[in-house]
Amino acid sequence: MILAPLQSLAGTRVFRAPGRVNLIGGQVDYHEGWVVAMAINREVQVAVAPRADGVVVARSADRPGIVEYALDTGAPDADEATEALPEWGRLVAAVADELQQLGRPPSGADLHVASNLTIGGGLSSSAAFEVAVALALGAAAGWSVDADDLATACQRAEFAATGVPCGIQDQTASVRGGVFLLDCRTRSVEPLALPHGTAVVIVDSGVSRTLAGSPWTERREESFAVARDLGLRVLRDATPEQVADQARGRHAVSEMARVREFAAAAKAGDAERLGALMLASHASSRDDMEVSIPALDTLVECLTSAGAFGARLTGGGFGGCCVALAPAGDAAAIGAAAAAEYAARSGHTPTAIVAVAAPGAGPLPRA
């Protein structure tokens, strides 16, 4: 279904890209570890029509300003022009620049963006935005790129626009869809199925966050400092013994082990074990990586007391959402009960949804 702001744009093509929830594997994708992610039925949609003047003009139903970006990166004032754009416009420009580096012709485009993904909720709204914009720009130029190159280009665009050195998980989830185990070193994707009779509940804590300017980058650098002290490039290659006395390293190594056990438990249909691993992941994120906050800790407690098998923070931490695995028949009730208890205890206003795995990014059927 086309989101309301795009319904009147007859004659255009519309591309969609889903957000994602990180079921387990926090703060390890940038160490080339393993993660389990699920693309969800919340998405960004971009309607596109080609222009003949080599300018990208973008409008958003959710964000202020109109973006106009000339695809002439050799201009002497190009950097100054980009800095003058609104924050979301810099992301549009960065995606356009990355695609040109891959060979996209400098064809102009009119873009209209709409989304039902919460900004700052930890569900990768930025990655979905990048991927949907990239597909739309490709279509406007009659040009395309393979899935891995698309995800990598969008990852580079996020770093260029925001300075956040994110891993590859979010863009891969948006491009590929479904539930999967991702090896962030080899980029191999193994589809997974969650146990029959279970469902994923996502509760937005009501505490918005952005990774840029948060302690997230500091935590990331601290974990890389552990790797450097061990003479390693990334912590994927560390052993538990090597990091036993290093909290950041201990989190990364133990989290990668939990991810692989999570994948095995999913294949075995063991929902109780999946829940226990999610709780252990949250505890490690809270105590060793220190990316949780009291609101997220409270929300995890509320979800488990309401009947979830387990729960954890998702995304980069410092706010956003928690994710839980719950019995499918009780999932909506568990989300509602947890949200009510959390609101009473925290004073924040949460939002709960039962998420469904979504397909990867692509075009919507023509109207």
Structure tokens, 121: 């909720």
Q: Are 220 and 248 in contact (CB under 8 A)?
A: no
Helix (H) or strand (E) holding 58: strand 55-60
Q: If we measure between CA atoms, which residue out of 192, 209, 258, 283 comes closest to residue 25?
A: 258
Q: Answer yes or no: 170 catalytic.
A: yes
DSSP-derived 3-state class of residue 204: strand
- The secondary structure element, H or E, covering residue 318 is none
Which of 49, 86, 53, 47 is CA-nearest to residue 67?
A: 86
Given a contact cutoff of 8 angstroms between Cβ atoms, the answer to whether 157 and 244 are in contact is no
Laid out side by side, the sheet with 310-313 consists of 310-313, 321-327, 198-204, 351-355
Catalytic residue among 29, 97, 170, 204: 170
Catalytic residues: 170
